[in-house]
Structure 1
Amino acid sequence: MTPQAGQVVFTRGGVSESVHQVHVAVVDPSGGVTASCGDAGLVTFPRSSSKPVQALPLALAVPDLPDDELAIACASHTGTPEHLAVVERLLARSGSTVADLRCGTHPPFDTGAAADLIRRNEQPTPLHHNCSGKHAGMLLACERNGWPREGYTEHGHPLQVRIRELHAELGGVGLDDVRAGTDGCSVPAFALALDATARIFARLAAPTGELAPALERIFGAMTAHPFLIAGPGRLDTTLMPLVPGLAAKMGAEAFYGLALRETPRGPLGVAFKIADGGERARPHVALAVLEALGAPMTDKMRTLAPAALTNWAGREVGGVEVTLPLEGV
């Protein structure tokens, strides 16, 4: 029988206003599920939580790549000047330019950076896309592996074939268990069971085998450069420095992956999916998971997911109730 799913309930005036169902899988370095709630076998898309895997061919092909450039290849960045400078440096390594990026274009997520573009009467370019670092890294991985840069986003391209294989290998599943769609930035998005994605993050927390040096470098790059992984006010950037030994990566539609090195149980990988894609519930689930796994809660951490809801006038108008029946904790 499937364990009971978790819930995040937003209330107003004592009445439940919104309910978000949560599925969680916690995996140890041996690959075993040690705790879960909801459906640990739920097949879903990690979306950008896959970026550490998508950066693996780059880390393997360029073992001397600076940490900040490896971090930006794992990032869903907010388009600040600091982010763009690192992406441009990474692009230049393969002799590529912004015109070679196939991620599409959107305004910077950072409101200050977006306002600066408007003030200068400039249009955003693919460089401002939150996935431009990943795409720049993919172009360099292609160049170093002797694969064509043209068509690097296509499902049949050697790079994307390899990335799918890595999802299967790290997730401990067969290749047929890794289903494919297309992401918002045009590269393949791979769907697999929630516990398989948690297994990937457990391997990131405690690397073993041939991939260990590259995984170790990715973990180190993410934790050394939390600002590059996301940006001002974003959960990854704020949370990682507050939890020793944590590499965290958010994905669209309220997915989250966490690689934890320092818990009372040792290293763990966590993946959770908020079923309705309600991203405002994500920090509440992340903190509840961390607390359940023994991470010390600080006042600064609790500010990321306040229990009280206030309106624009600063009045308390409601609250947030989190129920996370993690079996095995």
Structure 2
Amino acid sequence: MRGGMVEGVHHGSVVVLAADGSTLFAAGDPDAVMYPRSTAKPLQAAAMARLGLRLPPAGFAIAAASHSGEGIHLDAARAILAAHGLTPEALRTPEDYPFDPVERDEWVAAGRVPGRLAHNCSGKHAAMLATCRKYGWTEHDYLDPGHPLQLAIATSVEDLTGAPIPHVSVDGCGAPLFAMTLRGLATALSRIATAPSGTPEALVAHGIRAHPELVGGSRRDVTALMRAVPGLIAKDGFESVQVAALPDGTAVAIKIADGADRARPPVLAAALALSGVDSAALEPFAGTDGPDGLRVAGALARQPAGAA
């Protein structure tokens, strides 16, 4: 909205699951198969924790991150590698500049070249290599879908989502990308958010809650959101995918069909409001046009279940 007029329209799907897994709200088709992109990282981190990977909270946070490439992010990923006798050269992430535009500009101005550690998925890849080192698995091919690591991750993803993986592709970082539904994604993050203390899933949830700055970055809405809503764990992904879960297990999953990221935060704010989150905490995420944006987000709550 701008000045009381509709300026742009985005279509998509969203589901809000209650703590018991029942549907509080759904719009579009939350049971359609889609690519979760980086919202799957907490699931992948939980799978590695199930395999016995043990990291400090910052390690699990960066393993579940699409980080901005700030110094704290590179240090956290580097720490995982160093603790397992590895170096950044072992990473199979594409060479890249930091994801954050401010950090990227500073790199370019300083004459620094793209690197594997700077890629926003380097924390996940560092954890993958650490898991391979723990089991003595080959490391040069850890991204192969048939590698023991990736087969084990796929098994955990199916268990957490409660459904078979219908399709496997390749994500932008080169890792296997497991398709799933929004309902499955929300179910999985709910299970991670409510995992009993001491379980592998709880290690991941604790890391994300303790270090939201590592999961995104100092200028990222996913980090600001977790700071604004106590106990929330959340993950954003390319092509406008988002998942979030409250401590009681209430969970939200969103996919904007055209991949426009500007539509993601307002829909997330509306969905979290339906989950009982204080609207005052959500207002900064509800839109970019002041009260108009907030009204657009609030319109989600007035839609009948199943509407797009």
Q: Normalising by the residue count of structure 2, what TM-score does the alignment of the two structures yield?
A: 0.91
- Counterpart position of 1:230: 216
- Counterpart position of 1:165: 155
| Structure 2 CA distance for aligned equivalents of residues 240 and 326 of structure 1 | 28
- Counterpart position of 1:78: 68
1:226 Cα deviation after fit = 0.5
Which amino acid counterpart does residue 204 of structure 1 have in structure 2?
I
Out of 174, 177, 182, the residue aligned to residue 189 of structure 1 is: 177
Query: Is 1:213–2:195 an aligned residue pair?
Result: no
- Counterpart position of 1:96: 86
Count of aligned pairs: 302
Q: Structure 2: which 5+ residue stretches go unaligned?
A: none
1:96 Cα deviation after fit = 1.9
Out of 243, 258, 283, the residue aligned to residue 302 of structure 1 is: 283
1:241-286 CA-partner distances (Å, limit 9, x unpaired): 111120000011000011111xxxx421221111111101111011
| Structure 2 CA distance for aligned equivalents of residues 305 and 280 of structure 1 | 10
1:43-74 CA-partner distances (Å, limit 9, x unpaired): 10111000011112432345642111111011
- Counterpart position of 1:45: 35
- Go from structure 1 to structure 2 and tell me whether the alpha carbon gap of 1:144 and 1:63 turns closer, same or farther (over 3 Å shift): closer
Which amino acid counterpart does residue 172 of structure 2 have in structure 1?
G
1:114-163 CA-partner distances (Å, limit 9, x unpaired): 23322321102011100000000000011112221121111111111111
Q: Superposition RMSD on alpha carbons, in Å?
A: 2.3
Out of 241, 252, 259, the residue aligned to residue 255 of structure 1 is: 241
| Structure 1 CA distance for aligned equivalents of residues 283 and 63 of structure 2 | 29
Contact 2:143 2:176 in 1 (8 A): yes
Out of 204, 207, 225, the residue aligned to residue 192 of structure 2 is: 204
Q: Which has the higher strand share?
A: 1
| Structure 1 CA distance for aligned equivalents of residues 304 and 78 of structure 2 | 43
What is the aligned-residue identity percentage? Answer: 37
Contact 1:153 1:187 in 2 (8 A): yes
Counterpart secondary structure, 2:217: coil
Contact 1:24 1:273 in 2 (8 A): yes
Which amino acid counterpart does residue 278 of structure 1 have in structure 2?
A
Q: Which has the higher helix share?
A: 2
Query: Is 1:286–2:272 an aligned residue pair?
Result: no
Q: Normalising by the residue count of structure 1, what TM-score does the alignment of the two structures yield?
A: 0.85
Contact 1:181 1:190 in 2 (8 A): yes
| Structure 2 CA distance for aligned equivalents of residues 25 and 148 of structure 1 | 39
Which amino acid counterpart does residue 256 of structure 1 have in structure 2?
Q
Q: Structure 1: which 5+ residue stretches go unaligned?
A: 1-10, 310-315
| Structure 2 CA distance for aligned equivalents of residues 87 and 64 of structure 1 | 14
Moved over 4 A (4+): 12-15, 61-64
Query: Is 1:27–2:17 an aligned residue pair?
Result: yes
| Structure 2 CA distance for aligned equivalents of residues 255 and 170 of structure 1 | 18
